[in-house]
Amino acid sequence: MGLLQIGDYTIRIVDLHQQLNPDYDTDSTNLQSFLVITNPIEGDLFGIIVDEPPNLIELNPDLIRKLPKYNRRLPMVSHAAVLQENEKKTTIFMLDLFELFNPVA
């Protein structure tokens, strides 16, 4: 977790690689990173480091399923959806940003 100052804005940054694997060394990778900035809570900006630019798609709400909190392997994931295009299935996990940025101690 870190902070980034852009103009008058302070953005809280999270690296999911480090969240999921504490031994992950971001300095040893030569991958180009992108920053996805979101504003889930009025006044607060959050940034998530990703390896490639995200695809923006519209999901049918009927495809989105809430994951039971007691059965979550990753507490920061709250919902999931499965897209089927031709023969290819893609699972999309949706982050619970409150859980991600305010974990229970």
DSSP β-bridge partners for residue 93: 80
pLDDT tens by residue, 83-95: 888 889 989 988 8
Alpha helices in 4-101 (DSSP H): 16-20, 97-101
What pLDDT, on the 0 to 100 scale, is given for residue 17? 73
Map out the domains of the chain as residue ranges: 1-53, 55-105
Looking at residue 71, its pLDDT comes to 62
Query: Is the pLDDT reported for residue 62 higher than 90?
Result: yes
Q: Return the half-sphere exposure (C-beta side, CA atoms, 13 A cut-off) of residue 38.
A: 13
Kindly tell me if the per-residue pLDDT of 65 is higher than 90: yes
Of 12-16, 68-72, 83-87, least confident by mean pLDDT is: 68-72
- Express as a percent the part of the chain with pLDDT over 90: 11
The secondary element (H helix, E strand) that includes residue 26 is none
